[in-house]
């Protein structure tokens, strides 16, 4: 019998809106006011994103310490769709300026604004002259001609080009580039912990989490550390980092500490980039000791346990190397890898080729693997399975990073194997 996932796997392409991307890029840049030139309901997406971010923080035991900037909507209605929404946007801008005295305005265009062809660019230019404040507007309308990342990277690029100027750089300082859960998220906190141990100061997290008046300080960093991942995140952030290198002369690091091996490589790369190899070596030694002690605690339970790995994400979003490395470290008995029914022939071939670089275990299709699942002590999976009797460990879209991340992942596997409860899904 074929194994089935809880949810239909259909996502092939990103299908989102550029406005939340723009919002996320400046949502915590104090001094900025964001205007959605849109119907009122579009702003709801941003609100939902904020709430989700807060829940993620709470789930991780973190605490948000800063508030988001004002988000206004021009509240386009039917009549504006017919007669044009320019006047409505101008009124919204006036309101924003009078009530919030922004240091910078960012305008995001909706699908409606795009369809009716409001000349937002011209209004932005006029507003700059009228109120003597910078106004950023992206030639991107809702999901008509873009998606989330188009908005996020588009506005980030504008910020770099417009507000970041070459200046004297401060030794042993870095600038974080990207979001990945924000400054209070796992990624930033873990990376900050390691950098602090190396005597490196984090100037800020660009673009979303620097006050507008501090943006010029971003260019003081000795290096840029990308808080990246896979897919569009990696492509987009690397492009921005390359722009910063070209414009400001700041080198960047695009190695990600996504498993123990990568974390060690990352620490060494940071030391090299910031000319503090000795500090890096010392930190690496300390982290190794910490890792070894904790890891040894898990090994007694994990060694020899039967594990199955189910993969349903495309290679550009999920690389199997990190999880295979953890399985090897914990000396788990990987009985097989199941490729879920999510791939075209080409995508499947790409994933197969990549997997075979790291392991020679049998690889199955979803249709021939039910008995394999039933015999496993636990299943590591990118998609929740319908089978309620098997212990599942859900592999997150954003992998945990650094030593803490790897240990957290190992701990989840360890606890799952220790648990007397049959079935259920555990989230890393």
44 binds another protein per the rule CB under 8 A:
no
Q: Cβ closer to another protein: 83 or 427?
A: 83
Candidates 9, 45, 49, 81; binder of another protein (CB under 8 A) is: 81
User: Which residue lies nearer to another protein by CB, 42 or 401?
Assistant: 42
Closest approach of another protein to the CB of residue 81, in Å: 5
The beta-strand segments (E) located in 66-127 are: 71-73, 104-109
In sequence order, what are the residues at sequence separation of 6 or more whose Cβ sits closer than 8 angstroms to the Cβ of residue 358?
Answer: 320, 321, 324, 325
Q: From residue 227, how far is each of 82, 180, 186, 205, 401 by CA, in Å? A: 43, 6, 11, 9, 10
Asked if 116 is part of the footprint of another protein (rule: CB under 8 A), the reply reads: yes
* Secondary structure (3-state) at 221: coil
The residue count for binding another protein (CB under 8 A) is 13
Asked if residues 174 and 201 have their Cβ atoms less than 8 Å apart, the reply is yes
Does position 37 bind another protein by CB under 8 A? Answer: no
Query: What residues are paired with 311 via a beta bridge?
Result: 339
**Using CA atoms, how far apart are residues 319 and 313, in angstroms rounded to an integer?**
9
Helix (H) or strand (E) holding 338: strand 333-339
With a CB cutoff of 8 Å and minimum separation 6, the contacts of 292 are: none
Question: Given the complex with another protein, which of 85 and 146 has the nearer CB atom?
Answer: 85
Contact between 84 and another protein per CB under 8 A: yes
Instruction: Give the SS3 label for residue 224.
Output: strand
Quick one: angle between helices 260-273 and 321-329, nearest 10?
Answer: 110
**Binding residues for another protein restricted to 341-400, rule: CB under 8 A:** none
Residue 145 binding another protein, by CB under 8 A: no
Of 92 and 273, nearer to another protein (C-beta) is: 92
| Dihedral sign (CA 410, 392, 231, 158) | negative
- Cβ of residue 124: shortest distance to another protein, in angstroms? 17
Min dist CB 77 to another protein, Å, is 10
Q: Which member of 31, 43, 46, 80 binds another protein (CB under 8 A)?
A: 80
Peptide linkage before 207 cis (omega within 30 of 0): yes
- Least distance between another protein and beta carbon 427 (Å): 45
Between 79 and 125, name the residue whose CB sits nearer to another protein.
79
7, 44, 79, 99: which one binds another protein (CB under 8 A)? 79
Neighbours of 297 (CB within 10 A): 12
Site for another protein in 277-316 (CB under 8 A): none
Residue from 33, 86, 96, 324 touching another protein (CB under 8 A): that is 86
- Among 13, 59, 65, 78, the residue binding another protein under the rule CB under 8 A is 78
Q: Which of residues 22 and 76 has its CB atom nearest to another protein in the complex?
A: 76
Residues forming the site for another protein (CB under 8 A): 78-86, 115-118
């Amino acid at each position: 019998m074929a194994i089935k996932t809880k949810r239909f796997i259909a996502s092939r392409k990103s299908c989102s809106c550029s406005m939340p991307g723009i919002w996320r890029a400046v949502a915590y840049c104090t001094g900025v006011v964001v205007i959605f030139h849109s119907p009122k309901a579009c702003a709801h997406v941003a609100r939902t994103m904020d709430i989700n971010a807060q829940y993620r923080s709470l789930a991780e035991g973190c605490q948000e310490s800063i508030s988001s900037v004002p988000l206004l909507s021009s509240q386009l209605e039917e009549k504006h769709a017919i007669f044009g929404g320019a006047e409505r946007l101008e009124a919204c801008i006036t309101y924003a300026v009078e009530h919030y005295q922004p240091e910078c305005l960012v305008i995001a265009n909706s699908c409606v604004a795009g369809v009716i062809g409001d000349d937002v660019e011209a209004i932005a230019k006029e507003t700059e002259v009228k109120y003597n404040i910078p106004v950023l507007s992206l030639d991107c309308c809702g999901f008509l001609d873009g998606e989330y990342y188009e908005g996020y990277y588009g506005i980030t690029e504008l910020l770099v080009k417009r507000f970041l100027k070459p200046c004297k750089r401060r030794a042993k300082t870095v600038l974080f580039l990207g979001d990945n859960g924000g400054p209070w998220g796992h990624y930033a906190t873990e990376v900050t912990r390691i950098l602090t141990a190396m005597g490196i100061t984090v100037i800020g997290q660009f673009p979303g989490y620097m006050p507008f008046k501090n943006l010029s300080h971003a260019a003081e960093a000795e290096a840029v550390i990308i808080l990246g991942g896979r897919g569009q995140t990696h492509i987009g952030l690397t492009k921005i980092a390359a722009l910063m290198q070209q414009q400001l002369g700041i080198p960047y690091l695009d190695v990600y500490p996504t498993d123990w091996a990568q974390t060690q490589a990352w620490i060494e790369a940071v030391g090299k980039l910031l000319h503090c190899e000795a500090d890096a070596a010392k930190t690496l030694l300390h982290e190794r000791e910490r890792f070894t002690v904790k890891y040894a605690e898990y090994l007694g339970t994990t060694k020899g346990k039967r594990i199955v790995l189910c993969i349903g994400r495309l290679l550009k979003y999920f690389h199997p190397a990190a999880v295979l490395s953890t399985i090897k470290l914990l000396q788990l008995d990987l009985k097989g890898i199941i490729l879920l029914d999510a791939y075209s022939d080409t995508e499947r071939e790409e994933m197969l080729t990549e997997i075979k670089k790291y392991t020679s275990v049998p690889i199955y299709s979803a249709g021939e693997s039910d008995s394999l699942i039933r015999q496993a002590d636990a299943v590591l999976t990118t998609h929740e399975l319908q089978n309620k009797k098997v212990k599942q460990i859900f592999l997150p879209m954003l992998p945990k990073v650094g030593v803490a991340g790897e240990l957290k992942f190992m701990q989840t596997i360890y606890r799952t194997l220790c648990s007397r409860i049959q079935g259920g899904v555990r989230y890393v």
